[in-house]
Chains A and B, each alone.
Chain A
Amino acid sequence: MMSKRTILAVTFFAIVALFLCFSALMMHPFGEPESPEMDESIIANAQEETGANNAVTSVVFDYRGFDTLGEATILFTAVAGVILVFRRLKK
């Protein structure tokens, strides 16, 4: 005899699994993105435009520099918060 909670959990699990199977069937084949223009452009021009052999670094620090700025801000905020929480109180 299954409880209501178990029935609910199994139903939820089945729905999530159905959505996962559906999206797995809809996936593109590996290595064939839908619109490769941006990738092709970066692979073709990154070395000439940024002078770096590592195209990933040229994307992270040059083409998408704002993203890295946000990442650095998140790290800064995390460190500031931890130091604030663990500060030494006066005895």
Chain B
Amino acid sequence: MSEGMSKIVKTIASAAFPFIMIYGLYVIAHGHLTPGGGFQGGAIVASALAMILVAFGSIWTMGKIKEKQLSLFESLGAISFILLAFLGLGFGTVFFKNFLVDNNFLFGMVPETGSTFANFNTGGVLPLMNFAVGLKVIAGLFAIVLVMAYAIHTKEEKL
């Protein structure tokens, strides 16, 4: 487990990794248009990273990224989420007010009511919140898996 698996598994995991990554990031980015969102897409991306962790082993993965950096990213996502909520209080009227909608700025367009074509430049503050929650879920779930895998390695070393 901690040394990684065979060359076949490593090759297949490396080949499948970009496609799963793109799909997960697509689910995060299009959270305000299609089913899914920050939590779901973040879980997909975190499972792709966990696949790489299982294929290449926890020592190799820990050499690439440390859990301290992951917890930094997670805190960054949480802070930006709360900051967006407080910006609703500052620029709008209440906490969690969607202050970016209908002002021709970032993500500011409003679609017609009913069944319409998807326009990426809509949704106000929702896409930004999806990005924040997605970053938080990616970093959080992968930090859990990475820390547990590395704990198995250190226990093997002692025995």
**Once bound together, how far apart are the Cα atoms of A49 and B110, in whole Å?**
8
Contact across chains for B126 and A57 when beta carbons are under 8 A apart: yes
Say whether A22 faces chain B, with CB atoms less than 8 Å apart. Answer: no
Say whether A41 faces chain B, with CB atoms less than 8 Å apart. Answer: no
Say whether B69 faces chain A, with CB atoms less than 8 Å apart. Answer: no
Say whether A11 faces chain B, with CB atoms less than 8 Å apart. Answer: no
A50/B123 contact (C-beta < 8 A), A44-B113, A68-B133, A72-B136 known: yes
Tell me the dominant secondary structure on chain A's binding face. Answer: helix
| Nearest A residue (CB) for B42 | A75
| Nearest B residue (CB) for A73 | B78
Give the interface centre of B32, B107, B136 by most chain A CB atoms within 10 Å: B32
Q: Closest CB of chain A to B43's CB: distance in Å? A: 11
Residues of B within 8 A of A79 (CB): 71, 74, 140-141, 143-144
The contact size tier of chain A is 20 to 34
Contact across chains for A54 and B35 when beta carbons are under 8 A apart: yes
Chain B residues at the A interface, C-beta cutoff of 8 Å: 31-35, 37, 39, 67, 71, 74, 78, 81-82, 85, 95-96, 98, 101-102, 107-114, 116, 118-119, 122-126, 129-130, 133, 136-137, 140-141, 143-144, 147-148, 150-151, 154
Starting from the known contacts A49-B101, A72-B78, A86-B150, 20 additional A-B residue pairs (CB-CB under 8 Å) come to: A44-B113, A47-B112, A48-B110, A50-B123, A50-B124, A51-B98, A51-B108, A51-B109, A53-B116, A54-B32, A56-B35, A57-B32, A57-B37, A58-B32, A72-B81, A72-B133, A75-B137, A83-B67, A86-B147, A88-B150
